[in-house]
Amino acid sequence: MRTSTTSRLALGAAAVGMLGAVAAAAAPWSTSPEADAAPGQCTAAGLSNTASGVLSQAGAFLHDHPEANDVLTSAATMPADQAKSSVQGYFIGHLDQLTTLQGIAQPLTDLKNECGIAVSPTQLAMLLETVSK
């Protein structure tokens, strides 16, 4: 059961990473944190709360868009270059869905820009693996 839970958490972490990448593709580059970022946001708890909100909204969106759900689900198990190509190929043909997902993922981009932190899917998966043992 733990392996199944860990696998689901890792898939969720990968989804957060993909959504963050989708949002980052349209966001302006920022290399330094904003001075006025709320201190509570720039913590592990703040990141967790932000990521859980994004995942919840993304889950609802993907439930309503099964084709996008299939593309992102498949991409989570592909090599990085193949996953990127697959996701880009799908969303080039579905710009309205891309725009919606970018909006859903925007809080992650905001957190990255405000706090100067970004967490990769691999880092999240390793963290989840560590705490689930």
pLDDT of residue 52: 86
DSSP structure string for 63-127: HH-HHHHHHHHHHTTS-HHHHHHHHHHHHHT-HHHHHHHHHHHHHHHHHHHHHS----HHHHHHH
Report the sign of the C-alpha dihedral through residues 41, 29, 13, 16, in that order: positive
- Regarding predicted confidence, which is higher, 110 or 37? 110
Q: What is the mean pLDDT of the chain?
A: 77
How many other CB atoms are there within 10 angstroms of residue 96's CB atom? Answer: 9
Report the sign of the C-alpha dihedral through residues 84, 123, 112, 55, in that order: positive
- Domain 44-132: state its class: mainly alpha
pLDDT of residue 119: 67
pLDDT of residue 71: 95
pLDDT of residue 12: 55
**9-29: per-residue pLDDT in tens?**
455 555 555 555 554 444 443
pTM over 0.75, yes/no = no
- Regarding predicted confidence, which is higher, 82 or 121? 82
Length of the chain: 133
Q: Is the pLDDT of residue 67 over 70?
A: yes
CA–CA distance, 31 with 60 (Å, rounded to integer): 32
pLDDT of residue 117: 77
